[in-house]
A and B are shown apart, each in its own frame.
Chain A
Amino acid sequence: MTSQQSRDQLLGAYRQMKMIREFEERLHKEIMTGEIAGFTHLYSGQEAVAVGVCAHLEADDLIVSTHRGHGHCIAKGCDVKGMMAEIYGRSTGLGKGKGGSMHIADFQKGMLGANGIVGAGGPLAVGAALSAKLDGKGCVAVSFGGDGSVNQGAVFEAMNMAVVLKLPAIFVIENNGYSEHTGADYAVGSKDIAGRSAAFGMKSIKADGSDYFAVYDAMGELLDHARAGKGPCVAEFETTRFFGHFEGDPQKYRAKDEVKRHREEMDSLKIFRAHVLNDRLLDETALDAIDADVLSLIEEAVSEARAAPPPQLSEITTDVYVSYP
């Protein structure tokens, strides 16, 4: 399966995963300085999902994201500097500093936005999929959601409606084991997200979300199905988050060594490296060069964001409408 991906594709995937990781690890540090305001939910640990999914998507395919959206944004091609500036609340941010971490969007890139409302992405993706179907160009809409989001009525409704209307929607569920401070094994009654979703009448797959190749292969299969007009599908990816729910979370609900263990055993970057080096798909020098390049880009993104001006106060009441007499 992995041979289907060219060297460039693999380098690109690694670069995006590394970019996400370093973006988040850097934010984790910057947040401690108190310079970044508000709520920030970091995506570290889940990189392989965003990148493995988006690796298949074209510019015209649409994604809808979550409160933990930085990884999805990067994987769908949002400008990393524009994202950083947005998180710093600067006028140069992708949302002019009006939205912040939880609301990064880039409609030109087919990224319909991170979202502060858990579960809101399901219905939005169904609508985006309807638009894609009406256009008839074989495009799809993907909603990302967590193990917590699938307990929203809106997501149930969206899944059923997507089946009824036979829409090219793909529900990607990132099961990182927790919704805030509550375990998925408690909150998902059947403990089986993929199975429950399949009961709506959708094709569904469950795969290892720490392994880029597993995600890539699973998504490939689902996309063939959706692009062929055979209706919506669900992918449940098992993954983990390396940080707390939000920055500042003491994580009392997690076993003491859990994060340390997951960082050793479920690190998508380590797993990717081992895989490509073992199969001689890429060489270490190329990967190391990417690492260095990513780090310097993140450094630039942070210093440019810091130096950028805040939005003008007149911006408070602009962009509320397209027009308003």
Chain B
Amino acid sequence: MAIKSYRDALNEAMHREMERDARVFVCGEDVSGGAGGTSGEREASGGIFGVTAGLLPRFGEGRVIDTPISENAIVGLAVGASLAGKRGIAEIMFADFLGLALDQTMNQAAKFRYMSGGKATCPVVIRAPYGAGMNMAAQHSQTMYQIITSVPGLKVAMPSNPADAKGLLATAIRDDDPVVFFEHKALYGRKGEVPDGDYLVPFGKAAILNAGDDATIISMGRMVVFAEKALEGLKASGVNCDLIDIRTSSPLDEDAILDSVEKTGRVVIVDECPPRCSVAADIGAFIASKGFSSLRAPLELVTAPHAPTPFAKELERAYVPSPAQIDAAVRRVVSYR
């Protein structure tokens, strides 16, 4: 075990997988940076968030590809190469820009397997930094994973901590299906223990981060960190909960969710997206249909409001679900009679 940041854990996973498998390559805007610059420094960037640093010096320009600003073609580059036998990792600088690459993502990558009657494989990974909390306003803060989760054919991961970041990304790269991999921008600096060597976290397997009988908190990505914060206060006042980090929204670990709901009967789902068609709504509908008989309180969904992400820091702070909102929601379900 080593203490590493989420950023470095992701970086390590790419280093290891590129070392292990010569078919793996990385492409995106400024993944190395410096191409065509006047300083002569070829790795002038290493990714705008530094996640791809060191890959160019190690693996060279053939496998670490700086692209023009052309998101649909960036994803297409990785998708097409993956259909032809390579394993492309496309970095979309901000998840919001998936909007420009939705054709290659949802009409192409997602559907080849099905439309070819199981003949095609498209082992592509699309990495997408997401999330609010950095005052980047409405076009640089969205979660986007709710839209991608709704598309059959795509797998969706969103790690909440460095160990999962490494293990889930390695799994994504080795997976034969297209994966859209969501990294929370505000988590890049988060440090934690990361297993050494080969480390894989399976898709569709939730992590139970805390065990308690009073309620079930289900969450993903950065909201897991907020749920952990809320739990500290709840525990201090004698309320203890299961905390489930789904880790992948597609596939979803339905068993882990139902097992916990059966035990507690009281559920809070915390999701950074606006409420409509959110992952919270999706999981809520699943629980309402498959776990109805266990429920002892109405579901509580803690989400952002139905509005774009505001710029002003006071507004953004209130917009993003907070530990205080999670705390209040848990107390509501626990006290419901």
Contacts and interface: CB of A to CB of B under 8 A. Distances in A.
Interface in B238-260: none
Contacts of B40: 255
A220 B173 CA distance: 54
B312 interface: yes
Interface in A110-131: 115-119
A189 B66 CA distance: 13
Interface stretch (B196-204, B213-221, B303-311, B321-329): B303-311
Interface in B169-201: none
Q: Which 10 A-B pairs have the closest CB atoms?
A: A183-B36, A186-B36, A253-B37, A100-B311, A181-B33, A116-B139, A89-B312, A37-B135, A151-B68, A38-B135
Interface of A: 37-39, 89-90, 95, 97-100, 102-103, 115-119, 148-149, 151-154, 177-189, 252-256, 258, 310-311, 313, 315-317, 320
B2 interface: no
Given A116-B138, A152-B71, A181-B44, 17 more contacts: A37-B312, A38-B136, A97-B312, A99-B137, A100-B137, A103-B139, A116-B96, A152-B100, A153-B73, A179-B29, A180-B30, A182-B33, A183-B36, A258-B38, A316-B315, A316-B319, A317-B305
Contacts of A184: 36
Q: Chain A's interface: helix, strand, loop or mixed, by majority?
A: loop
B35 interface: yes
A317 B307 contact: yes
Contacts of A152: 69-71, 100
Contact of B138 (A103, A188, A255, A256): A103
A189 B29 CA distance: 15
Interface of B: 29-30, 33-41, 44-45, 48, 66-73, 96-97, 99-100, 134-140, 305-308, 310-315, 318-319
Contacts of B312: 37, 89-90, 97-98, 100, 310-311
B36 A187 contact: yes
Contacts of A180: 29-30, 33, 45, 48
14 contacts: A116-B137, A117-B99, A148-B69, A151-B68, A152-B69, A179-B29, A179-B69, A182-B29, A182-B30, A182-B34, A182-B37, A182-B66, A253-B41, A254-B39
Contacts of A102: 136-137, 139-140
B101 to A, nearest CB: 10
Contacts of B135: 37-39, 89, 100
A181 B315 contact: no
B307 A320 contact: yes
Contacts of A189: 68
Contacts of B71: 152
A200 B83 CA distance: 32
Contacts, number: 168
Contacts of B134: 38
B46 to A, nearest CB: 9
A186 B137 contact: no
A253 B56 CA distance: 15
Nearest to B47: A181
A82 to B, nearest CB: 14
Given A252-B44, A320-B308, A181 B39 contact: no
B95 to A, nearest CB: 13
- The residue among B35, B40, B68, B305 with the most chain A CB atoms within 10 A of its own CB is B68
A183 B306 CA distance: 39
Nearest to B40: A255
A181 B69 contact: no
Contacts of B139: 102-103, 115-117
Contacts of A310: 312-315
Nearest to B66: A182
B311 A103 contact: yes
> Quick one: which of A102, A181, A311 has the most chain B CB within 10 A?
A181
A315 B310 contact: yes
